Amino acid sequence: MTDRDDPEEFRALAHAVVDWIADYRAGIAAHPVQPHVEPGSVRSALAPLPEQPQPFDALLDELDRVVVPASTHWQSPSYFAYFPANASLHSLLGDMLSGGLGAQGMLWATSPACTEVEQHLMDELAAAMALPDAFTFAGGGGGTIEDSASSSALVALLAALHRANPGWIADGVRGDERVYVSAETHSSLAKAVRVAGLGARALVVVDAAPGGHALSPDALDAAMAADVAAGLRPVLVCPTIGTTATGTVDPVRRIAEVARRHGAWVHVDAAWAGVAALCPEHRALLDGVELVDSFCTDAHKWLLTAFDASLLWVRDAAALPAALSLTPEYLRNAASESGAVVDYRDWQVPLGRRFRALKLRAVVHARGLEGLRAHLRGHVALAAELERWVAADPRFELAVPRSLALLCLRVRTGRGPEEDDAATRQVMERVNASGSAFLSHAVVDGRYVIRVAIGAVTTGPEHVEALWQRLQAEAAAV
């Protein structure tokens, strides 16, 4: 071991690390998807920090002994909980290249390549998803890679606040701002309202349309009109394309038309489902997006790219810098002053930023757009097959219609809703306890449901079939 970076030492150690990752991924299906550990057990198994350098093999041994047995294996082909977290091996290689370059891409001047590769990638992806030209840099807008959809929502809200009242930066919020969501909108919007200092009263939960879970444009119009009449200011509306609980798609076009009449910013949260627009047959999901101000979807959920990589596009390239730019003297430089470059530090909350575009570019390079479409289509087809099995089994029912690769189902006991809910919970808990798969739940219309989100990188027909057989076996036992 040396006291400075040694490329030859790195070469040897990197081979060991790559071998460890490859072996872990090759054997991941043999691990229980969710570990059975007690709180504090991991910390108690870790040794104190060493005073002297240690062999790198000792760290790999600690991973095998302590970390892997206590990990939830998000990359397991039998992971069906929450939404997928696609950390494909190609994206890991891109991440390694990014880390190897060690760029700090806060300004164009600090890494021109970091900035312009990201600009190019975001414009190309906008075209591949058939987003309006207005969301590209050539069209007056542009895209950036944030760390998460939560950050995307926050910066969109800050831009909306600035547009509604440019004086808020100096004077602070006035207390009359209102943000409109549905009951199924992701909690990140409520957190963004909190972080922005608007207070809980600023968040307005709009009723769903009758007979469904989508945000009602009519109820939104009534809520916004009432607020305006009361002297309040509509600032932002957030329709969702693919809600977390049920995969519901809000009617973006009608919502945007209502919001624009009242002068509110429209931010679309399509964190999970938006990437499906790479497939022409799913582009109806984006109906009305040409009317909105910002659009977000996550590459790290269903597009084979390791966390973190949230894709955010805005119609007005000046909107985020107007709300977020602060320029101390030590950041001033000729390129920024010229106005000819993009400084991505003005498109996010942190100053510093990583070269995230490389890992996504590595994925597209390795798979091609057709490969990405095949990845998405394969999971949708598996979900459709599972949907048919559920419909044919009287012990189960779908709680809501399937949404792409997400199903919400419950157990039917024939003994009433309370018994059905208890059985559904018990079935899910028994599946998870078995280690054979990992599921999560939601409460839909007051009823407990099992969510099956198909989307792990290596999930195939055999894994979905094994899950279904396990669900059937557990349902027969309750």
**Within this chain, do residues 370 and 334 fall inside the same structural domain, yes or no?**
no
Instruction: Tell me how far apart the 2 most distant CA atoms of the chain are, in Å.
Output: 73
Domain final position from 354, 375, 400: 354
The answer to whether residue 58 sits within a structural domain is no
Tens-digit pLDDT profile for residues 112-130: 999 999 999 999 999 999 9
Q: Which residue, among 288, 274, 214, 243, has the nearest Cα to 408 in the 3D structure?
A: 243
d(CA 452, CA 383): 8
- CATH number of domain containing 148: 3.40.640.10
pLDDT more than 70, % of the chain: 99
**Within this chain, do residues 295 and 404 fall inside the same structural domain, yes or no?**
no
The answer to whether residue 253 sits within a structural domain is yes
Mean pLDDT for all residues in the chain: 96
**Within this chain, do residues 368 and 298 fall inside the same structural domain, yes or no?**
no
Average pLDDT over residues 332-340: 92
Give me the residue label for tokens 């058939």: 130
**Which H or E element spans position 442?**
strand 440-444
Lowest mean pLDDT among 3-7, 400-404, 459-463: 3-7
**Within this chain, do residues 409 and 434 fall inside the same structural domain, yes or no?**
yes
**Within this chain, do residues 295 and 166 fall inside the same structural domain, yes or no?**
yes
pLDDT at 169: 80
pLDDT at 3: 62
Which residues, in sequence order, are CB contacts of 29 under 8 Å at separation 6+? 76, 77, 78, 458
pLDDT score of 2 more than 60: no
Domain final position from 304, 331, 354: 354
Contact predicate 351/105, CB 8 Å: no
Q: What angle do CA 184, 186, 192 make, to 5 degrees?
A: 135
Tokens of 134: 């207005």
pLDDT at 192: 97
- The upper half-sphere exposure of residue 389, i.e. CA atoms within 13 Å in the direction of its Cβ, equals 16
**Within this chain, do residues 172 and 242 fall inside the same structural domain, yes or no?**
yes
**Within this chain, do residues 341 and 408 fall inside the same structural domain, yes or no?**
no
The answer to whether residue 138 sits within a structural domain is yes
Q: What angle do CA 255, 197, 201 make, to 5 degrees?
A: 55
Tens-digit pLDDT profile for residues 245-293: 999 999 999 999 999 999 999 999 999 999 999 999 999 999 999 999 9
- CATH number of domain containing 464: 3.90.1150.170
Q: How many domains does the chain have?
A: 2
Burial class (CB in 10 A: 0-12, 13-18, 19+), 300: buried
Average pLDDT over residues 406-428: 97
**Within this chain, do residues 325 and 422 fall inside the same structural domain, yes or no?**
no
pLDDT at 167: 83
Q: Going along 300-413, which residue ranges are E strands?
A: 310-314, 396-398, 406-411
Average pLDDT over residues 89-106: 96
Tens-digit pLDDT profile for residues 157-173: 999 999 999 888 888 88
The answer to whether residue 406 sits within a structural domain is yes
Cβ neighbours, 10 Å, residue 231:
7
The answer to whether residue 126 sits within a structural domain is yes
Q: Is 448 helix (H, G, I), strand (E, B) or coil?
A: strand
- The string over 360-369, giving b where at least 16 C-beta atoms fall within 10 Å of a residue's C-beta and e elsewhere, is bbbbbeebee
Distance set, CA 328 to CA 47, 218, 331 (Å): 43, 46, 6
Q: Which residue, among 192, 198, 193, 154, has the nearest Cα to 172 in the 3D structure?
A: 198
Q: What is the length of the chain?
A: 478
Contact predicate 100/358, CB 8 Å: no
- The string over 403-440, giving b where at least 16 C-beta atoms fall within 10 Å of a residue's C-beta and e elsewhere, is bbbbbbbbbbbeeeeeebbebbbebbebbbeebbbbbe
pLDDT at 329: 86
- Domain hosting residue 114, numbered range: 103-354
d(CA 179, CA 215): 13
d(CA 396, CA 381): 20
**Within this chain, do residues 241 and 110 fall inside the same structural domain, yes or no?**
yes
**Within this chain, do residues 128 and 179 fall inside the same structural domain, yes or no?**
yes
Transcribe 111-177 into DSSP letters.
Answer: -HHHHHHHHHHHHHHHHHTT--GGGSTTTT-EEEEES-HHHHHHHHHHHHHHHH-TTHHHH---S-E
Question: Which amino acid is it at 80?
Answer: F
pLDDT score of 1 more than 60: no
The answer to whether residue 226 sits within a structural domain is yes
The answer to whether residue 56 sits within a structural domain is no
Lowest mean pLDDT among 1-15, 66-80, 191-205: 1-15
**Within this chain, do residues 274 and 341 fall inside the same structural domain, yes or no?**
yes
Average pLDDT over residues 324-331: 90
Contact predicate 385/464, CB 8 Å: yes
Q: Which residue, among 360, 330, 352, has the nearest Cα to 111 in the 3D structure?
A: 352
**Within this chain, do residues 313 and 199 fall inside the same structural domain, yes or no?**
yes
Tens-digit pLDDT profile for residues 50-91: 999 999 999 999 999 999 999 999 999 999 999 999 999 999
Domain final position from 302, 324, 354: 354
The answer to whether residue 402 sits within a structural domain is yes
Lowest mean pLDDT among 139-148, 154-163, 172-181: 172-181
pLDDT more than 90, % of the chain: 94
